[in-house]
Amino acid sequence: KIAYQISGLTKTYTTGEIEVRALRGVDLAIRQGEMIVMLGPSGSGKSTFLNLIGGLDTPTDGQILFEGKELTGQDDRFLTQYRRHYAGFVFQFYNLIPSLNARENVALVSEIVSDPMPVDEALEMVGLKARADHFPSQLSGGEQQRVAVARALVKKPRVLLCDEPTGALDSATGIKVLDALAGVNETLGTTTIIITHNASIAAIGDRVLYFADGRIAKEERNEKRQPAS
């Protein structure tokens, strides 16, 4: 089963006279349940790619099929539904609501979908059930990011799209976040895509894609996936 079938994906940003070709025709198939790590220098198009397949932005050219259905050319209403029900997002910054505790931050998202996972189960999956009553200010950066992962997965998304999820963390806490993501991928079979700068975590992916200059320059398959820790 294929999660994403992507062909000729192109994105050109135009600012005044200046054109930036962020993606130059990417072709890629991503299997359901696959764990993908994306590496590559800053400016090589990784975030642009993730934003396009997450329905946060629209391509200049090319096609994205999600589970066989066109994502490209759909209106905002369709993309909002797609983001809300099918895609979970984790970014470098956690964006938790400071006045709500961990459980409430996760519950807020669980209330907007039809068939959420129980909030405590989502917190348990990231190893934070015991911290459910803590407010963001009482949690470490790594713990806050794991709350953000719980918030993304409580919707039971088909895909988890993670842009530099460990970018603000030291390597030891970063590993706990990655372990949580790997656990979700393994337990729920959620297709997971992780952008990172840290080449040492590439081993947690089934596949590593190296972006360069708006293209996928190289890919490697990990025969036996390594645990992050």
Give me the residues that bind ligand ADP (CB under 6 A), please.
13, 15, 20, 22, 40, 42-48, 56, 80, 83-84, 89, 91, 112, 211
What is the smallest separation between the CB atom of 197 and ligand ADP, expressed in angstroms? 9
Q: Alpha helix (H) ranges present in the chain? A: 46-53, 76-85, 102-110, 119-125, 141-153, 171-188
CA distance 228 to 201: 6
What is the smallest separation between the CB atom of 91 and ligand ADP, expressed in angstroms? 6
CA distance 76 to 81: 9
CA distance 152 to 18: 36
Of 4 and 89, nearer to ligand ADP (C-beta) is 89
CA distance 224 to 58: 35
What is the smallest separation between the CB atom of 48 and ligand ADP, expressed in angstroms? 3
Q: Which two tokens stand for residue 19?
A: 């054109």
Of 80 and 200, nearer to ligand ADP (C-beta) is 80
What is the smallest separation between the CB atom of 132 and ligand ADP, expressed in angstroms? 20
Of 93 and 187, nearer to ligand ADP (C-beta) is 93
Amino acid residing at 91 = F
Nearest to 180 by CA among 213, 190, 170, 31: 190
What is the smallest separation between the CB atom of 152 and ligand ADP, expressed in angstroms? 7
CA 138 to chain centre: 25
Nearest 10 degrees: Cα torsion 185, 181, 31, 59: 150
